[in-house]
A and B are shown apart, each in its own frame.
Chain A
């Protein structure tokens, strides 16, 4: 379990804190979505939860971050990396830039951690298969499209076999098919027992994946709850967060004052679609 207790964080050189008194629990096997308006502190929360802030980027951290009951303070990043994986939205900067093939790129993390060669190979093939990018194994990562690079970057995280994954808009550059692949892969990882914290603008993806949603605004935790409840909460629209298609359809059907029977059938159909999507 990954636990943040009363966490505050201020970037180096910044006047104010970007996160203020945030407490969050990420339980094993749980998928938690993080949403909120721009500049709300979502990416900062991802950096703190993954251990990168303040380790890699400096700044001042208040409160504590515990990983399976152990305080992360003072633990080096390479130790944290084996347990918490983090992915960013720009695939170009996530690739190592020194590998000649996708296979080597995906294997880069486990190789760094000194995982035995045979296991590195097995993990790499598994990660490629999970995201269905095995056919890209021999391609040059630098020559792939942005979407393909993002899938390679995520495969690189999966090959680390972290118990916790923190993803900052991992599908920002993916088309619907690619987004679907990532969603399937993340669902499979969560079923295997890993926890996933996913910062995402695509609330449809969260409606499909997340069990719990945390809304961040102004660096604070605004409200949280079960995914279905939070994604249907009218306060999201006030914060400028797009509602999932199902929620929007339901709302528009209500506003259109459809006859009761038609409204019930439409709502039922939307619910069935959402359930099928999960």
Chain B
């Protein structure tokens, strides 16, 4: 968005996403996941802009009552590369950062242990809930619940599964809260940390470069030095 146009974001994707992904050895997974992540919004963005772009006059083709326009297509391409940049960056972060390392490092840098706990628990809760749902599904099936067949049957079969999953999780909250309190979780101030991720000189330099690049690009955009990338 800072750079604008099509070529600029593509260069940014190449420099900030593709090259780091190659170095991290996750390029294949990154492309696959980014594609899946951005596909729904990309489809809607293309359809809306190509066919419903306001004030467009250059007609590409007509399909019954709707008309595809060149201006809409150009804008859709701009949106697409931005979506690509955002989804690529998010996916790269997901593929290269362990949640535990992120949380420990945030805590080391002064983030409240409670905030760090909530962030970590949110990530860790998902697989636990999935496992619980699988156990409840198996138990309900053993008692004759039909969770296969047509969509209506599947939808009906969800109710006896979702209820126990949600209620069970809520029911555990009180005891889990007590257990956390009994282990000193509510103590104010910093916790002791057992470990923290290594932070090399190269990583620090890379971080500072990113921090400096944002205002530099903003300034360049305002000054018009990036217009050739449009």
Binding site for B on A (CB under 8 A): 47, 50, 52, 55-57, 76-78, 81-82, 85-86, 88, 90, 92-98, 100, 103-104, 107-117, 120-121, 142, 153, 156-157, 160
Residues of the B chain whose Cβ atoms lie less than 8 Å from the Cβ of A142: 124, 127-128
Q: How far is the CA of A93 from the CA of B172 in the complex (A)?
A: 6
Q: Is the CB of B192 within 8 A of A114?
A: yes
Q: Are A93 and B185 in contact (CB under 8 A)?
A: no
- B117 touching A88, Cβ below 8 Å: no
Interchain CB contact under 8 A, B192 and A109: no
Are A98 and B192 interface neighbours, CB within 8 A? no
Q: B118 → chain A, closest Cβ, in Å? A: 9
Report the 9 A-B pairs with minimum CB-CB distance, sorted nearest first: A78-B187, A112-B184, A109-B183, A93-B175, A98-B120, A81-B184, A113-B184, A94-B179, A93-B176
Asked whether A108 and B193 contact (CB < 8 A) given A56-B178, A93-B175, A97-B128, the answer is no
Contacts of A81 in B (CB 8 A): 181-184, 187
Residues of A within 8 A of B183 (CB): 81, 96, 108-109, 112, 156-157, 160
Tell me which residues across on chain B come within 8 A of A98, comparing CB atoms: 103, 117, 120-121, 124
Neighbour of A111 across the interface among B120, B188, B191, CB < 8 A:
B191
Return the chain B residue nearest A95 by Cβ: B179
Do B121 and A97 touch across chains, with their CB atoms under 8 A apart? yes
Determine if A121 and B194 form an interchain contact, defined as CB atoms under 8 angstroms apart.
yes
* Given A76-B186, A114-B187, 18 additional A-B pairs, CB 8 A: A56-B177, A76-B187, A78-B181, A81-B182, A81-B187, A85-B182, A93-B172, A98-B117, A98-B124, A100-B100, A113-B184, A114-B189, A115-B192, A120-B194, A142-B127, A153-B179, A160-B183, A160-B184
**Chain A residue nearest in CB terms to B182:** A86
CB of B156 within 8 Å of the partner chain:
no
B153 within 8 A of A: no
Bound-complex Cα distance A108 to B63 (A): 63
Chain A min CB distance to B102 (Å): 12
B190 contacts across to A, CB distance below 8 A: 114
Considering only CB atoms, which chain A residue lies closest to B127 in the complex?
Answer: A142
**A112→B179 contact, CB < 8 A:** no
Q: Is B113 an interface residue (CB 8 A)?
A: yes
Question: Contact between B179 and A88 (Cβ–Cβ < 8 Å)?
Answer: yes
CB pair B124–A55 under 8 Å, yes or no, is no
B189 CB, nearest partner CB in chain A, Å: 6
Q: A93-B172, A94-B179 are in contact. Are A78 and B194 (CB under 8 A)?
A: no
Q: Is B58 an interface residue (CB 8 A)?
A: no
A117 B192 Cβ-Cβ under 8 A: yes
B125 near A: Cβ within 8 Å? Answer: yes
Report how far A104 CA is from B117 CA in the complex, Å.
Answer: 14
In the complex, whether B174 has a CB less than 8 A from a CB of chain A is yes
Which one of A47, A52, A111 contacts B192 once the chains associate, using CB atoms below 8 Å? Answer: A111
Q: List 5 A-B contacts (CB under 8 A).
A: A92-B172, A93-B175, A112-B183, A112-B184, A117-B192
Among B100, B125, B172, B183, find the residue whose CB has the most chain A CB atoms closer than 10 A.
B183
In the complex, are the beta carbons of B172 and A52 less than 8 A apart?
no
Q: Give the distance in Å from the alpha carbon of A120 to the alpha carbon of B229 in the complex.
A: 55
Contacts of B185 in A (CB 8 A): 78, 112
Q: Which chain B residues in 121-174 approach chain A with CB under 8 Å? A: 121, 124-125, 127-128, 172, 174
